[in-house]
Structure 1
Amino acid sequence: MRNRTKVVALLAVVTMAMGATVGCATTEEVGDRGTPAGGPPMPKDAEVMSDLPAPGLDTRCGDATASLRPGGPPPTPGAMPGGTTMAAIQARGKLIVGVDQNTYQFGYRNPVTGEVQGFDIDMAKEIARAIFGTADGTIQFKVLTSAQRVPKVTSGEVDLVVQTMTINCERRENVEFSSVYYMAGQRVLVKEGSDINGADTLGGKKVCAAKGSTSIARIVNLETDPRPVGIGVDSWTDCLVMLQQNQVDAVSTDDTILAGLKAQDPFTQVAGVPFSEEPYGMAMSKNAPDFTRFVNSVLEQLRTSGRWTQIYNTWLLALLEKPASPPPATYRD
C-alpha cells in the first residue's frame, strides 16, 4: 500500500506540473539558451541564469523588514474611512490579490474543487475580511509567477501580493512591504540517494529555482568551486518535474516550498541545513502608505488573537512537522 501511495503522489504532481506549464520547448530550443540538451522536453521558459546580484547584500534601506507602524486597531469592517485606499477598495467591492497556484499548502489549486487555497490564501482572506466583514465574494485572486509580483503591484493591477515573497532592499525600491508574517530559510531538495547533502555540495550541479526569486540569485552566487549552474523556470512544480526527469540535480528554495514538493513526491528528500533567512512580507504600492499601515494593523491582530497560529496549524503544522509562532513585527514611523 505504501508503494502504491508513492506512485499515486508522484503521478499527481507530474500531472499538476505539466498542467501548470504553458507549452513545452524541445530540448534543442532549450539547449540554444545554454540548458543541457537531450532527454525529455523541458518547460518552455527554462533557461540557464547567471550574473545575478547576490541577495541580502544591499543594505541601503537599513532594516528591510521594518514596515510602517500601524496607527492602532483597524477600522470597523465595512466602514472604511472616506478618502482612504481601503475605502476605494470597499467601493470597488473586491480586494485584488496576487497569489501562487503551485506552492503546496501555501498557495495551490485544489485538484478536486479547482479553488486556490493554502496559508497565504487564508492570510489574504483575513485582509479582505477586515475591509468588508467577510472574505466571501470580496476577494479576487490573480495567479502570478515569481517574476510578475513586483510589476503587477507597481502597475496597480493588484492591491496586494501574498506569495511567499522575501522582503529585501532591492524590492523595497519599487514596492512597500508589510511587517514579516512568516520566516523561512533556503535549503536543497534532491532525489533519495543523492550525494548532495547541502548547499556546500552544489558546486557544478544544475540547480533549479523560480525566475525572479531570491533563491535563484542565491544559488548562482554560492561560493563553491565551480559555482552551481542555475536553471530558472516559471513555477516550482516545473522544478520538481525536471528533478524527476534528471534534467537538474537539485531544487533549492525556501524550506516551506521544498516541504510541499517533497509531500508531492516522497522519493525526494530535503538535504542540509538552512543557509539563509527568508522573511515573507505582503507587497503593496509605495503610493498607499495608509493601506500598508492598515495591513499591519490586521497582522498585529492575527498575532495577538491566536488566529495566525490557527492558520499555521491548518496548513503547515503537519507539513513542516513542527509548531511555530508568528514572527514579531519591526516598525518604522
Structure 2
Amino acid sequence: MTTRIAAGLLVIALLAAGCGSVPPPPPGVSVDPVAVRPQEAQDVTSAPPAAAEQCDREASLPPDPLPAPGMMPPGSTMAAIAARGRLVVGVDQNTYGFGYRDPATGRIEGFDIDIAREIARAIFGDPDRIDLQVVDARDRETALMSGQVDLIVRTYSITCERKRSVDFSTVYFVANQRILAHRGSRIDTADDLSGRRVCAVTGTTSLSNLFAMDPRPVLVGVTTWTDCLVMLQQNQVDAISTDDAVLAGLVEQDPTVEISGSSLAVEPYGVGVGKDHEDLVRFVNAVLDRIRLDGTWNRLYDRWLRGLGPSPGPPAATYGGP
C-alpha cells in the first residue's frame, strides 16, 4: 500500500468517526417564570364609593296593563323602541349560565339573555328583534345614563346607591355572595379570607362587600369573572368571591374548584332602566309578572341554571311608589 493510499484511508476513517459523534449540548439557560396578570387587573387599595342612605331597594313601580305586541302606547318609550325596530340591551358575555358566548355558535346565550328576549317578544312579538351589546360591569350605569342601551340585563344587583342614577325593575333572581377556591384549600368563611388574595370584578357589589370586611382581604380587581378564574388557576389569587350563581358557572368550567361557606351578602338582580323612563319600568315589570305566572321563569331556570339545584321559583315582586 502506498503512502498516498494509506493517508487517504486514514482521512476517510477520521471522517467516519466524526460523523458518528454527538456534538456537546448547548449551555443551559435559566429563565424565571413570569406570572402574567389579565389585562387591567389591579390591586384594590381604596374604598369604592360609599353606600347611599338606606332605601327599600327591592321596591319598583307597579306594572301597567301589558299591551299586545306591536300595539305600544303612542308616545311611550316602548313605541320609540318599536319604531327603531330593535330593543338594545346591555349584557355580559363571560358569565356562564347567565350571559356567555357559546363557542360553537358564537351566539350570546343564558338566563339573562332569555329574560331580555322575553321583553323584546312583548314589544315586537319576536324575541329576535334585539341588539345585544356587551357592557363591562363597571360601565352599566354609564351605558344607561348615556342612552347607549335601553336596558341592562346583566346579573345587576339592585342597591340604593345605584338607584340614585338608574331605575330598576322588580327582582327577577336572588343570589348569595359566597367563596370559590381550590378543593381542599380550607377557605370557607369570611375570616378565612383575612390576609388572602381575593379576586372580584371592578364595579360590583361583591368587591364593595369584600372591601368592607374587617379584617380585609388583599383584593384584586379585574374586568371579568373569567379573568378571576384564570388568576385562581395560576395561583395568583387564593379565592374568588361573588354571587353563587356566577360562581356555579366557573365551577362548570373548572371542576378542581368548589363553592364554600355561607352567604356573605344577598344580591337581588333587577333589570336596569334609565331615569325618566317610568313607563318602560312599568312595562318590564308587567313582562316579569307574566313570566312568573305562566311558567316561563321556571322553564328558563331549568334550561340554564339547573346546576344551582332545583328551581326555587321566581322571587315575589315588591311594589312601591306611585
Q: In structure 1, what is the equivalent of residue 273 of structure 2?
A: 284
Q: Which of residues 297, 304, 329 is equivalent to 2:317?
A: 329
Counterpart secondary structure, 1:169: coil
1:40 is displaced (CA, Å) by 1.8
Counterpart secondary structure, 2:264: coil
1:253 is displaced (CA, Å) by 0.3
Q: In structure 2, what is the equivalent of residue 66 of structure 1?
A: 59
Q: 1:54 to 1:219 in 2, by over 3 A?
A: farther
Distance 2:47 2:64 in 1: 38
Query: What is the identity, as a one-letter code, of the residue corresponding to 2:312?
Result: A
Distance 1:163 1:43 in 2: 22
Query: What is the identity, as a one-letter code, of the residue corresponding to 1:45?
Result: E
Q: How does 1:157-236 map to 2 (within 5 A)?
A: 157-224=148-215, 227-236=216-225
Q: Does the alignment pair 1:51 with 2:39?
A: no
Distance 1:77 1:67 in 2: 23
Q: Does the alignment pair 1:148 with 2:139?
A: yes
Query: What is the identity, as a one-letter code, of the residue corresponding to 1:77?
Result: P
Q: In structure 1, what is the equivalent of residue 37 of structure 2?
A: 42
1:322 is displaced (CA, Å) by 2.5
Q: Does the alignment pair 1:296 with 2:289?
A: no
Counterpart secondary structure, 2:186: coil
Q: In structure 1, what is the equivalent of residue 297 of structure 2?
A: 308
Query: What is the identity, as a one-letter code, of the residue corresponding to 1:283?
Result: G
Q: Does the alignment pair 1:132 with 2:108?
A: no
Distance 1:193 1:262 in 2: 15
1:53 is displaced (CA, Å) by 4.5
Distance 1:54 1:181 in 2: 26
Distance 1:202 1:182 in 2: 27
Q: Does the alignment pair 1:257 with 2:252?
A: no
Q: In structure 1, what is the equivalent of residue 71 of structure 2?
A: 79
The answer to which structure has the higher strand fraction is: 2
Counterpart secondary structure, 1:43: coil
Please, what is the CA RMSD of the aligned residues?
A: 1.3
Q: In structure 2, what is the equivalent of residue 88 of structure 1?
A: 80
Counterpart secondary structure, 2:247: helix
Counterpart secondary structure, 2:180: strand
Asked if the contact 1:207/1:231 (under 8 Å) is kept, the reply is yes
Q: Identity over aligned residues, as a percent? A: 50
Distance 2:174 2:298 in 1: 14
Deviations 1:297-319 (A, max 9, x none): 000011111111111111002x1
Counterpart secondary structure, 1:181: strand
Determine which structure has more spread, i.e. the larger CA radius of gyration: 2
Asked if the contact 1:152/1:158 (under 8 Å) is kept, the reply is yes
| Deviant stretches of 4+, over 4 Å | none
Query: What is the identity, as a one-letter code, of the residue corresponding to 1:44?
Result: Q
When the two structures are superposed, what TM-score results if normalisation uses the length of structure 1? 0.85
Count of matched residue positions in the alignment of Structure 1 and Structure 2: 289
When the two structures are superposed, what TM-score results if normalisation uses the length of structure 2? 0.87
1:64 is displaced (CA, Å) by 1.1
1:275 is displaced (CA, Å) by 1.4
Counterpart secondary structure, 1:180: strand
